Amino acid sequence: MTEIKRSAIFERMWKREGFRAELRAANALAIKQWKVEFSYPLSVLWFIVMPILWFIPLLITGTAVSGGAESTYLQGLVGTGDWLSYVAIGSAYAGLSISMMWGTGFALRREQNVGTLETLMTTPMGKGTLVWGSTLHNLQHGGLGVILQLCGSVLIFGVQLNIWGILPALGVVALSIIAMQGLVFTIVCVILLAKQAWMVVELLSSVLFLVAPMSYPIAVLPPALQYISVASPLTWSVEGFRGFLMEGIGSSLVLNAVGALIVLDVVFLVLGVLMFRYTERYVRMKGALSQF
């Protein structure tokens, strides 16, 4: 490559701006992460079996306590006795959330560990794009996991899905991603400030999953935890996603979930973005970007 060509590329890089340029950068980051994951052969195997492996213990526990496929107690709580479908759909959604929270939350830390964070930070792209790129990857990764688990649940365990609810359920996923991104930005801030922040993230995500109605309705939670559950976007995401996939588009409870999710989207995203901007500036000012 001649010097003139190299300099032309360099100039074009610096002139790049706008949404499409950021989207291209985010896409490049997502592809890079796929390449990293697929360079470990066991990753591929894990990716395929993981969604089912997570679901099986829930299935065995449910069978061990219920003795069958129907639960009268659950029927009284949520209006359906089909605990298998209820748990399968709820836990499938958990895979996506975990992928988003852990994968994206730790993206910057991973770059730091391999020594590429500072290089990435000096590239002419928006700082938030680093996080959005990872979100894009984890959305693809987690989304494929959800599809795999739901297909496995339908084919192997006889879980029933309402096909008319698939499209609206995807709409819920889209709404959920916005609010989840707010949470992810918060996690990134914790990691940028505390560095070895896995335990904060582990605790935060474990509590969020505990109060989310993945495999049980929030009615069985202690009252204090029910309040936290109502304020969490994960709760409404799961309720909406499962509601559409089990009952189709006719349920009023599902519409409540969508409404709550829209409100929480605004709150979480605004807070998350503001926190990220402030923290990223603060960490750079302190010169603490590369510190372990």
Partner 1 sequence: MTDTSIDSKEDQVFLNGSSYLTEFKPVFFDWTAAIIIAKKNLRLAIRYPANVLIWGILPVVWFAPFILMATAIAGPETSVYFTELSGFDNYITFSIIGWFVIMFLDNSIWGIGNNFRWEQFSGTLEPLFMAPVPRVSLLLGAAFSDSIQAVFQTSMLLGISTVIFGSRYVLTQILPIAIIMLVMIIALYGFGFMVAGLIIVFKDPSVLTELVSEVTWMISPVQYPLAALPSPVRFAAYLIPTTLAIVTIRELAITGIMNVVSFLTALCGLGLIAILFWTIGLGSFRYAVRWSRERGHMGGF
Which residues lie near partner 1 (CB under 8 A)?
40-43, 45-46, 49-50, 53-54, 56-58, 60-67, 71, 73-74, 77, 83, 87, 113, 196, 199, 202-203, 206-207, 209-210, 214-217, 219-221
**Closest distance of CB 163 from partner 1, Å:** 26
- Of 43 and 123, which CB lies nearer to partner 1 in the complex structure? 43
**Which two structure tokens, joined as six digits, stand for 260?**
């709550």
**Closest distance of CB 86 from partner 1, Å:** 9
- Of 22 and 82, which CB lies nearer to partner 1 in the complex structure? 82
**Closest distance of CB 277 from partner 1, Å:** 28
- Of 22 and 247, which CB lies nearer to partner 1 in the complex structure? 247
- Of 186 and 215, which CB lies nearer to partner 1 in the complex structure? 215
**HSE value, Cβ hemisphere, 13 Å, CA-based, for 276:** 23
80 vs 14, 63, 247, CA distance in Å?
57, 16, 10
CB-based contact 181:192 (threshold 8 Å): no
- Of 48 and 147, which CB lies nearer to partner 1 in the complex structure? 48
Looking at residue 64, its amino acid is A
**Closest distance of CB 139 from partner 1, Å:** 19
**Closest distance of CB 56 from partner 1, Å:** 6
Give the whole-angstrom CA distance, residue 199 versus residue 59.
28
**Closest distance of CB 60 from partner 1, Å:** 5
Give the whole-angstrom CA distance, residue 33 versus residue 26.
11
